[in-house]
Every structure is written in C-alpha cells, then in structure tokens.
Amino acid sequence: MTRARRSRAGRRPGGASTRDDVLVAARAEFEERGYEGATVRAIAARANVDPAMIHHFFGNKENLFLVAMQINLDPAVITDAIRSSPRDEIGERAVRTFLAVWGDPKVRGPLLALLRSAMTHGAAAALLRQFVTRVLLSRIVVVFGDAPDAALRAEAMVSQLIGMAVLRFVVQVEPLASASEEEIVALIGPVIQQYVPPS
C-alpha cells in the first residue's frame, strides 16, 4: 500500500492542504509507531509527498513532531539555554527557561494537552517518553558529561521541573501557583543545580 502511494506519479506539489496532509500523516505515524519508530520517509509515503518537501517545510523529525502535536516550541531553546550557561548556573537557567516556555499560552495549552494525554493513554505516554528521552535528556546528558549517573541526574532535574509545572499550572496548589517566577527561580534553581555532576 505505502509502496504504491510512494510512486512518483502520485506525488503532489507543495501547498497549504499538502502541509495539512503531512501533519495528519505525521500524527498517525507518531501514534502508531511512536516517536522513535516514525520516519520522515514513512510519513511522506503516507501523505503521498516527497520526503524532501517535509524537510523543506518542517526541518527535521523533532520539529515535525512538535508542529504535529501543535506545540509551538523549538526544543533547542531549552537545550541551548542549558548548554550556553556557566556550569554553576545551569540549575537557575533551567528553571528560568522552563518557566518562560510554560508562560507562553501558545505553548502551554498544547504542552498541557500532551502531558494530560500521557497520563491516561499508553500511546501518548510512549510518545512523550521517547521524546523526553531522545530530545531533552540526550542533550542535557551531553552537558552533564560522562559521569556514570549523568542520565539519571539529568532526568531527576527534568522531573523537578515537571513536578513544579504539575503543581503550579495543572493542579494549581498554593503558594506555588501564585509565586513569582523570580521566587521560584531563586528557590528551585540552586537546589536542582546539585544534580549537575561535578566537572
């Protein structure tokens, strides 16, 4: 089936509805095969377009995933902030960047939707799991270096940020829900700094 669809004759030129077709195909592939199993090639085949067009419109698989999930966020924003930070300010920088991302209503809604789905649906949890692992953790681990527990440390840091988001934005427990960003950065930043391995 996909082989037949992939034939050159069936491919259509780019355009608004083609872009939408790609997004529909991407959502279906990500859901069926998970973040890792989905390929740009298979998504292109399913949407009946040339893979090069997907690269042209969406860059890479990461960005396609975020657009398909309607999450208006470049993961490089977070990881660049951490990578460009002085080593002893990574904790503070991570909290500040994370709060800035969640503070953008265009990002927060879809992120909440993904987090909520992941709490209740196995397929969404698998997607989120793979995405967190491949996109966020793998980049933080590079900064954390070759400590044997670098991955666990990176994930512990991410888990503090997620727990904070759950209580502040989702369940809205006081005083965290109303605390200023500066209070939260000042309190949590130095604490999660302890997860950064000694260099």
Strand blocks (E) in the chain: none
Does position 81 interact with its own copies (CB under 8 A)? The reply is: no
Give the up-direction half-sphere exposure of residue 44: CA atoms within 13 A in the CB hemisphere.
22
What DSSP character marks residue 157?
Answer: H
Nearer to its own copies by Cβ, of 67 and 161: the residue is 161
Q: How far is the CB of 140 from its own copies (least distance, A)?
A: 13
What DSSP assignment string belongs to 65-91? Answer: HHHHTT----HHHHHHHHHTS-GGGHH
Q: How far is the CB of 159 from its own copies (least distance, A)?
A: 4
Letters for 108-137 (x = contact with its own copies by CB under 8 A, - = none) are -------xx-xxx----x--xx--xx---x
Does position 149 interact with its own copies (CB under 8 A)? The reply is: yes
Distances (CA, A) of 147 to 7, 73, 84, 96, 136: 48, 29, 20, 25, 18
Q: How far is the CB of 128 from its own copies (least distance, A)?
A: 6
Name the one residue in this structure whose structure tokens are 């904790």.
91
Does position 29 interact with its own copies (CB under 8 A)? The reply is: no
Does position 195 interact with its own copies (CB under 8 A)? The reply is: yes
What is the Cα gyration radius of the chain? 19
Does position 171 interact with its own copies (CB under 8 A)? The reply is: yes
Does position 163 interact with its own copies (CB under 8 A)? The reply is: yes
